[in-house]
Amino acid sequence: MKNKTQVAIIGAGPSGLLLGQLLTKAGIDNVILERQTGEYVLGRIRAGVLEQGTVNLIRESGAGERMDKEGLIHIGTDFSFQGEHFHVDLEKYTDGKHVVVYGQTEVTRDLMQAREQTGGITIYQAQKVELHDIESDTPYVTYEHQGELHRLDCDYIAGCDGFHGVSRKSIPDNQLEEYEKVYPFGWLGLMSDTPPVNEELVYCAHERGFALCSMRSPTRSRYYIQVPDTDKIEDWNEEKFWDELKQRIPPEMAERLVTGPAIEMSIAPLRSYVCETMQYGRLFLLGDAAHIVPPTGAKGLNLAASDVDTAYRLFVKIYQDQRTDLIPRYQEICLARTWKAVRFSWWMTMLLHRFHSAGRFDFRAQQAEFDYFIHSEAGKATIAENYVGLPFEALE
């Protein structure tokens, strides 16, 4: 088992795998430690809307071939308020930019295969991972694998192990700067092997609650409805879900909706979270280890990719040009983009969901804001610019 590397990466989700693949291509040695099995990682059902910057980075990593063949290019997105249907042309307002619908599971699978082909080391089922001496110039990681204790010495540690991982917890509590907002509802999601009801994603605001019509492929659909945060998955069945969805989407869409058995049903809580301590000593936090956003703006995976872009280019500068003076820039660059994405996700959530504590005035004000943005060229440009993704900032 290898006992020394340049960058130790904690977590083999898409951010850890993408960073590892980019570093390997740049000749920077790295080892990925993952607590779960590879099959478990691939079993996670996550987002599927990729910003242009994320698409470009996956291509740069050498793992974009299948994405380019099978990914669905979306040049626009649709909105509905109380059954009235509107379209926002993304390319028109962003000088030709668009998004690609390609499931996070598929991104992960492609990155796993690319890493295997390049000979990168990923240690699955690494248990009891602990980070040591992260404030020193000689950090190291210990873990158990197949009943044996191992030590991995490294120069830097990239924490890509999610909100519940060990990386952020390794930073002293008095050094953490955290912000959080919890929303009083969740998303009940259903995936089915049925044709999507619309060729673009449809975000629906309705007096009964929010709904989203999405897809993973031309034959696989993904739908969501807003439910109270007290609901349990046992409170729902497929028939009840389809009936509720039909009431929240535009009538013409409800008529052509194709229903079918659920491949997966689950409820996800919604919250916004930012840890502003994204770099501490030799430890860097990436993705969900540092920030969580509601899925409304499709920013979770894309924010992780922007962190990866900054970390990757920083490590290249460090190892090729000895630019350790740039280390503080990592947190500065990442937080600037993070808060803009957090704001957009929060705004979309507040605009499209029903808050049962809100009164009639709040609903009318919400409707007025929707009317302004959807009927204003400036408003639609704001939505489009944020939806396709703000540019990745150069590291200089």
Of 102, 183, 295, 353, the catalytic one is 295
Per DSSP, 297 falls in state: G
Of 299, 317, 353, 380, the catalytic one is 299
195 is catalytic: no
Instruction: Supply φ then ψ for residue 49, to 5 degrees.
Output: -105, 115
Decide if 190 contacts 265 (C-beta within 8 A). Answer: yes
295 is catalytic: yes
End-to-end CA distance of the chain: 37
Quick one: how far is CA 38 from the chain centroid?
19
SS3 1: coil
CA distance 6 to 32: 11
74 is catalytic: yes
Task: Dig out the tokens for 201 from the structure.
Answer: 């994603």
Decide if 53 contacts 302 (C-beta within 8 A). Answer: yes
> CA 379, 381, 384, 385: dihedral to nearest 10 degrees?
-120
Strand ranges of the sheet holding 49-50, from the earlier edge strand across to the other edge: 49-50, 99-101, 72-74
Of 74, 97, 317, 353, the catalytic one is 74
CA distance 116 to 38: 12
Quick one: how far is CA 30 from the chain centroid?
23
Strand partners, 285: 159
Q: Residue for token digits 């290019």?
A: 73
Of 140, 143, 156, 203, the catalytic one is 203
Mode of pairing for the β-strands spanning 156-159 and 283-285: parallel
Closest-CA residue to 102 (of 66, 143, 138): 66
DSSP strand E in 133-261: where? 140-145, 148-153, 156-159, 178-192, 202-205, 211-217, 220-228
Of 143, 280, 312, 387, the catalytic one is 387
Decide if 55 contacts 73 (C-beta within 8 A). Answer: no
CA distance 120 to 184: 42
Residues with a known catalytic role:
74, 203, 295, 299, 387
